[in-house]
Amino acid sequence: MEEIEKKLYYYADNGEKFGPYTYQELLDLPIREETLVWHSGMVEWVCAGELNELACLFQTTPPPLPESSYSIRGTKKQQLIANQDITKRRRFMAVVLVSFALVVTVALFFIIYILKNDMPNPPMPDSNTAAADSSLVETPIILNTSTAKPVVTLHAATKVNSTSAVVSARIIHGTSSISSETVEYAVQGTKKFWSQVLVREKGRGVGYIGNLKPETTYKYRVRVKSKAGTVLTDWNTFTTLPKAVDIVYNLSEHNRGFFDWLKACNISGKNRRLVEACDYTDKIVRNRAVHIAGSTPGSFNIGQVCDLFDYCINNWSYVNDAQKNEAIESASNTLKNGLNGDCDDFAVLMASMVMAVGGEARISYVYKGNRGHAFAEVNIGNTEVADVERYVSKRYVRIYKGNTWYRTDDYGNHWLNLDWWERHPGGRYYESDRGIRFYLIQHYCEEF
C-alpha cells in the first residue's frame, strides 16, 4: 500500500490528459472502468478496470468462494464426500472434452476428404489452343513493394500562441519501413531552419514547437524518410501571437452599508448560492483550470483568460433548467457532467476557473422586460485595454469584429466581458436596462 501511495497517476478524458494525482485523489475523481489511466513504470495507457489497485471502484459482486471454504464447518466425512464429488465432476468434464475433440477432428478429416475427391482436376491445356488464343492466358502481376513511399498530408498549425505552436501531418505508411518523421521550421524569409522529431498521436505525426518569437511568421514542412526514399511536403506558414500581457489588478473594494443585508439580492439568497456554486478552490476545478492555462505559462495574463474561455465555449452544450426551478450548478459539478447547462452555469464555471488561476471575477444578472441573462466578467485592473485588445484581435482574427467590450467601476478597474455571444473574451454585452452584480470573493452584491 505504501508503494501505491507513492505513485502519481494520470487519466485521459475526451482526448485530454489530466494529472498528476495521488492514489487517494484519483479515487475521488469521476473515473470509469473504461477510462484510460497511466502511472510511472507503465509502458502504455490502460483502462482503469485493468489496474488491480483500482478494481475496488468497479467490482460489484464478490468472487466465488474457494473450494476449501465449503467444508470449513463440516465434518471430515462431509469433506471427503465433497472432494469425491468434485473429482467425479472433473473426470466427467474431461471425458466430455476429449470426446468432443475427437468428434470435431473426425468431422474435419471427413469434410477435407469429400472436398478433395469432389473437386475435378483442371484440364491440361492444349499447346496448339494456347498458342492460338494467348488472350486467355492470365499473366501474374508482380508488385515492387520496396518502392511504395509514404503519403504525407500536412495540416494547418494549431494552438498557436506567442511562443509555441503545434503542427501535425497525416502519414500513411507505404510498404517500406519508415526510418524517421521530422518537422522542419524556420522564420519566414530565412534559410536557417530547425528540425524536431514527430510523435505519434491518433494516427498522426505531431510536433510541439517551442521557443518561438512573438508576432513572427514561421514556415514549416514535414520530412518522412523510408527505405523507398524521402517524402518532403511543401512549406506552410503560421504567425505567432503578440506576447500575452500580464493582468495586474487590485481586488475591488465596496462601501458596505449597515442595511446591506436588506438588499433583495441578499434576502433572496442568490448571493449566497452563487458564492457557494463558485467553488474555485475545489481540486477538480483548480486542476482543470491550471492544466488549461498552462498553455500560456507565466503570471496571470490575458492568454490564460483566453485559454479558459476557449475551453468552456468550445465544449459547452446548452441545456435549460427545469420549469419554475432556477438551478445554479457548482463549477465542479458542471465539469463532472461534461459542461452542460444554461447561461448562469456557464458564468459560474467561467468565473470559477478565472479565480482558480489567480484572477478576480464577478457575475452579472441582467434583465430587459421579462427576459434575463447571466454572464461573467474578469477584473483586468488598470491593464492597458489597447494591449488586451491587440492580443484578442490577433488571436481571434477570423471572428473579431473590431470592438473589445468592457466596463469600468468607480475605482478605475476595467472588467472584461466573458459572455458567449461573440465567442471570444471582450464580446458585446447582452442588451438590458437593469441588473445585479455579484462580487464572489467579497460576497457582495449591488443593483445597477
Q: H or E segment at 168?
A: strand 165-172
Contacts for 337 with CB less than 8 Å, ≥ 6 apart: 329
271 and 159, same structural domain? no
413 and 366, same structural domain? yes
Return the pLDDT at 299.
94
Q: What is the pTM of this model?
A: 0.62
Return the pLDDT at 77.
63
197 and 333, same structural domain? no
Say if 203 falls within a structural domain. Answer: yes
- C-alpha to C-alpha distance for 346 and 337, rounded to whole angstroms: 13
321 and 402, same structural domain? yes
CB 161 within 8 A of CB 176: no
- C-alpha to C-alpha distance for 22 and 72, rounded to whole angstroms: 40
323 and 231, same structural domain? no
94 and 213, same structural domain? no
Say if 68 falls within a structural domain. Answer: no
Lookup result for grid cell 479515487: 27
Q: What is the CATH number of the domain that holds 168?
A: 2.60.40.10
Taking phi first (over 0 means left), then psi (-120 to 50 degrees means alpha), and beta for anything else, what does residue 439 get?
A: beta
Say if 13 falls within a structural domain. Answer: yes
Contacts for 178 with CB less than 8 Å, ≥ 6 apart: 150, 171, 224, 225, 226
CA distances from 424 to 293, 302, 415, 420 (A): 16, 12, 15, 7
Residue 79 dihedral angles phi and psi, to the nearest 5°: -65, -40
Return the pLDDT at 120.
46
290 and 194, same structural domain? no
Return the pLDDT at 137.
38
Q: How many CB atoms lie within 10 A of CB 199?
A: 12
- C-alpha to C-alpha distance for 178 and 227, rounded to whole angstroms: 7
Per-residue pLDDT tens listing for the chain (448 residues): 667 777 888 888 888 888 888 888 878 787 888 888 888 878 888 888 888 778 777 766 666 665 544 444 455 666 777 777 788 888 888 888 888 988 998 888 878 877 665 544 444 444 443 333 433 333 333 334 445 788 899 999 998 988 899 999 998 877 667 778 899 999 998 888 898 899 988 878 999 998 999 999 999 999 998 888 889 999 999 999 999 999 999 888 877 777 777 777 777 778 888 989 999 999 999 999 999 999 899 999 999 999 999 999 999 999 998 887 778 999 999 999 999 999 999 999 999 999 999 999 999 999 998 899 999 999 999 899 999 999 999 999 889 988 899 999 988 899 999 999 889 999 999 999 999 999 999 888 888 8
In 188-334, at which residue ranges do the beta strands (DSSP E only) sit? 194-197, 199-201, 204-209, 217-226, 229-232, 236-239, 317-318
Return the pLDDT at 242.
92
Note down the domain range covering 84.
Answer: 80-117
CB 413 within 8 A of CB 382: yes
CA distances from 141 to 138, 144, 302 (A): 9, 10, 62
Lookup result for grid cell 448562469: 344
Say if 28 falls within a structural domain. Answer: yes
CA distances from 78 to 67, 82, 91, 110 (A): 13, 6, 20, 48
- C-alpha to C-alpha distance for 147 and 221, rounded to whole angstroms: 23
Q: How many CB atoms lie within 10 A of CB 357?
A: 20
- C-alpha to C-alpha distance for 433 and 435, rounded to whole angstroms: 7
Return the pLDDT at 60.
63
**CA pseudo-torsion sign 63, 64, 68, 69:** positive
Say if 433 falls within a structural domain. Answer: yes
CB 154 within 8 A of CB 221: yes
Number of structural domains, the chain? 4
Contacts for 90 with CB less than 8 Å, ≥ 6 apart: none
Say if 252 falls within a structural domain. Answer: no
404 and 274, same structural domain? yes
